[in-house]
Structure 1
Amino acid sequence: IQLGPMWNFTAFPEWNRNKNATFSQYYQHSLAVAASYILSYLFIFILCMIGNGLVCLIVLKNKRMRTVTNLFILNLAISDLLVGIFCVPTTLVDNLITGWPFSNAVCKMSGLVQGMSVSASVFTLVAIAVDRFRCIVYPFKPKLTLPEAVITIVIIWVLAVAIMCPSAVMLMVSQMEDHYIIYDSDYNQTFPMYSCYEDWPDTEMRKIYTTVLFAHIYLAPLTLITLMYSRIGVKLYSSSMPVSEHTAVNSNHPEGRNVVSRKKIKIIKMLIVVALLFMVSWLPLWTLMLLTDYANLSTDQLNLMTSYIFPFAHWLAFSNSSINPIIYGYFNENFKRGFQAAFKFHFGVRNKVYTDGDSSNSTIQKKDKRNISGDRAVLTNRHGCWSGWDGSGCQNE
């Protein structure tokens, strides 16, 4: 990476003649605060890289895991990896030092990739919710095939690039007029401040674009996900057929009804977690961005936001990409076994092969075919996906 011109140290003896000049320290925070930022961002970066990397490895290495749902999970893991690679490091550097230390090309590329990755991640969440909604609420409709899932993923990335193109075009590195950075306490080394920002011709255009992004990357997806998962929850709770069949077929197991009920409760909890995690992780950052554009904030308020509140909001938003693999491992036995195998932690599943419910070698074939309906419901991830059969008779694709 080529460093930007702000790194060419120069002296400005004329600054004392300019009463309107503003000087800022090179390092924005004390050592203790900077260390806390570094450790916090490093933690989610490592978690994101290892967790999503293992998710990609598990899906790609095991042919039985290549289902429609897992293909969406793979795409989500890839977008989360891009968030970790391009969002976390550059945001951390931007929070630690004053000004933009990189070139104009890096400014445009980092902004594009960051927004594109986040958009693709959100759109993938919606695609998974739609797929599960069709499967559970309308189980007899044609299911999404693998080629159709690939086309959907391509459309997701095309939309992600399209919605972030205006930002990439407007992003540029510009020198801040009458703003200088102090490299030492004696004012012997100062240099002009450069900033990477969207240079819109009109502030109203920036407000409109921010509103469009908020509607398409947060508000609309969250609304759709909440509505679809709520409908799925109602469907599961209102469906009594799987419980009665399970109890009738397995009359020797009086606790059968309770087992199925526990599975339903676990699914509903997961659906609530899906909506809450997405909403809680991204709401603070979107709130700050809207406040920056629409609220008439004072200089002190802006300094407080950029120095302390924005770094935490970014960390919280990026942590959503890091926590996804943990949700997979918690709700999905297939991914849990894959993680255990990768870390050599077998925990009693040493001889088990992690497979999806649609595999010809799946453990479901070991059961009596009369006991299939409603007898196996394995959660796949935090997005409300299923593997095998669910309470409404929906079979995995």
Structure 2
Amino acid sequence: YRYNVWVSGALCTAYGLVFCAGLIGNLLVAVVVLRGSRTMRRCVTNLFLVNLAFADLLVVLACLPFTLVAHLIYPWVMGSIICKLVPYLQGVSVSASVYTLVAVAVERYWSISSPWKKRLSSKCCRVIIGLIWIGSAIITLPWLVVFRQDYVSETLVCTEIWPDPLMGDTYYAVAHLTLCYVLPLVIIAACYALICRQIWCRQIPGSGEQGPPNHHHRAKIRALRMLGVVVAAFALSWFPLYATFTRLKFAKSMSEPEAEFWEMIMPVAQWLSSANSCVNPLLYHFLDPRFRSGFKQLL
């Protein structure tokens, strides 16, 4: 075992809570939308949120248990297939999650900035969701190839083995960080900044775009507030893990105390990133009355 009984127990408890909350919460989100009214089922934003819930379920079911075992038991004991699949599926789910949030931000901007134009149909939304998953599978495909079992200091580990270390440790690491974290969040931030500008201009007295603050407008603002919090939660949850990976990838040399520090940080950072999978249902419950009502009806 890698840690003493107290640390192992704390990790099991923390990961177990995220597993249970993420499984139950995301299933409830999917059921609330899919069993809701026809309007709720055909709402493009809700379809994207269901896709986000499925991506979170993939993390909870396919990644979380194996990640916990990998942190607790050393050396690697789960075989070559799990060694390849778990990093790959986690990468796919993260990419699908962040690009779903991008799609929501772009759709919200389109809806608010050009309300007279044709809205995105539910059929088109499903096509976009399919493309998100295909693109995510392609972006993360190298991990399916390079992750494998290998012996390091006579100890079996699951690690990346690139034909050219520079290609893996520099080029792909930078590309993955950019495509799956930095660039999507920049696009999302830009969309929400433009949306806020549109709403602000409409509320300024004397503005040509001023309109009455009707119920539909207030509902849009409430939805934007909820989605903004969801995006912020995603960015904050995944930042420690990306920061840890970046430090480990680009560290030319590392002292023993620093290596021990990052070894302790890694399970915490991975837990925090996985915890994002159970945060979204809680945010929907507290910030969206429709989801809150749907949860109460199911429970």
Q: TM-score, normalised by structure 2?
A: 0.90
CA displacement 1:165-184 (0-9 Å, x = unmatched) = 111111111122x33xxxxx
- Which residue of structure 1 lines up, in the alignment, with residue 126 of structure 2? 150
Following superposition, the deviation at residue 271 of structure 1 comes to: 5.4
1:276 is displaced (CA, Å) by: 2.4
1:310 to 258, 262, 266: 266
Which stretches in structure 2 are left out of the alignment for 5+ residues?
none
**Could you tell me whether the CA contact under 8 Å between 1:48 and 1:80 is conserved in 2?**
yes
Q: Aligned-pair distance for 1:278?
A: 2.1
| 1:325 aligned onto 2:281 | yes
Name 1:33's counterpart in structure 2.
7
Q: Which amino acid aligns with 1:315?
A: W
Shift in Å at residue 246 of structure 1? 5.2
* Distance change >3 Å, CA 267–CA 157, structure 1 → 2: closer
Percent same amino acid at aligned positions? Answer: 34
Contact 2:226–2:284 (CA under 8 A) maintained in structure 1:
no
Structure with a larger share of its residues in helix: 2
Is 1:128 matched up with 2:84? no
Mapped partners of 1:244, 1:145: distance in 2: 26
Question: Contact 1:222 / 1:278 at 8 angstroms: preserved in 2?
Answer: no
Matches of 1:95 and 1:304 in 2, distance apart? Answer: 14
What does residue 77 of structure 2 align with? 101
Other-structure match for 1:24: none
Structure 1 distance, partners of 2:226, 2:35, is 27
Q: Is 2:258 the partner of 1:341?
A: no
- Are the counterparts in 1 of residues 101 and 231 from structure 2 also a CA contact under 8 Å? no
Instruction: Find 1:118's aligned residue among 79, 94, 97.
Output: 94
Alignment of 1:1-397 (within 5 A): 27-64=1-38, 65-67=40-42, 68-176=44-152, 178-179=153-154, 193-206=155-168, 207-240=170-203, 245=212, 269-270=225-226, 272-296=228-252, 297-306=254-263, 308-343=264-299
Alpha-carbon distance in structure 2 between the residues aligned to 1:136 and 1:230: 12
CA distance in 2, matches of 1:121, 1:132: 17
How many pairs are equivalent?
290
**Alpha-carbon deviation of 1:202?**
2.0
Q: CA 1:62–1:163 in structure 2 vs 1: closer, same or farther (change >3 Å)?
A: same
Q: Secondary structure at the match of 1:66?
A: helix
- 1:173-231: CA deviations, max 9, x gaps? 1122x33xxxxxxxxxxxxx211111012221112111111000000011011111111
State the structure with more CA Rg: 1
Q: Which amino acid aligns with 1:164?
A: T
Report the alpha carbon displacement of residue 111 of structure 1 after superposing the two structures with TM: 1.9
Task: Kindly state the Cα deviation for residue 146 of structure 1 after the two structures are TM-superposed.
Answer: 1.1
Distance in 2 (alpha carbons) for counterparts of 1:304 and 1:166: 28
Give the 3 Å change call, closer, same or farther, for CA 141–82 of structure 1 in structure 2: same
Of residues 76-85 and 295-304 in structure 1, the stretch that sits farther from structure 2 once superposed is: 295-304
Residue identity opposite 1:35 in structure 2: G
Indicate the SS of the match to 2:242. Answer: helix
Cα pair 1:52 1:325 within 8 Å, conserved: yes
1:298 CA displacement = 2.7
Residue 371 of structure 1: aligned partner:
none
1:93 CA drift (Å): 1.0
Distance 2:192 2:20 in 1: 30
Check whether the contact 1:237–1:264 (CA below 8 A) recurs between aligned residues. Answer: no
Partner SS, residue 212 of structure 2:
helix
Task: Provide Cα deviations, 1:340-380, integer angstroms capped at 9, x if missing partner.
Answer: 1111xxxxxxxxxxxxxxxxxxxxxxxxxxxxxxxxxxxxx
Q: Given that residues 230 and 283 in structure 2 are in contact (C-alpha distance below 8 angstroms), is that contact kept between their aligned partners in structure 1?
A: no
- Separation in 1 of the partners of 2:144 and 2:10? 31
- Label 1:292 to 1:55 Cα distance change in 2 as closer, same or farther (>3 A): same
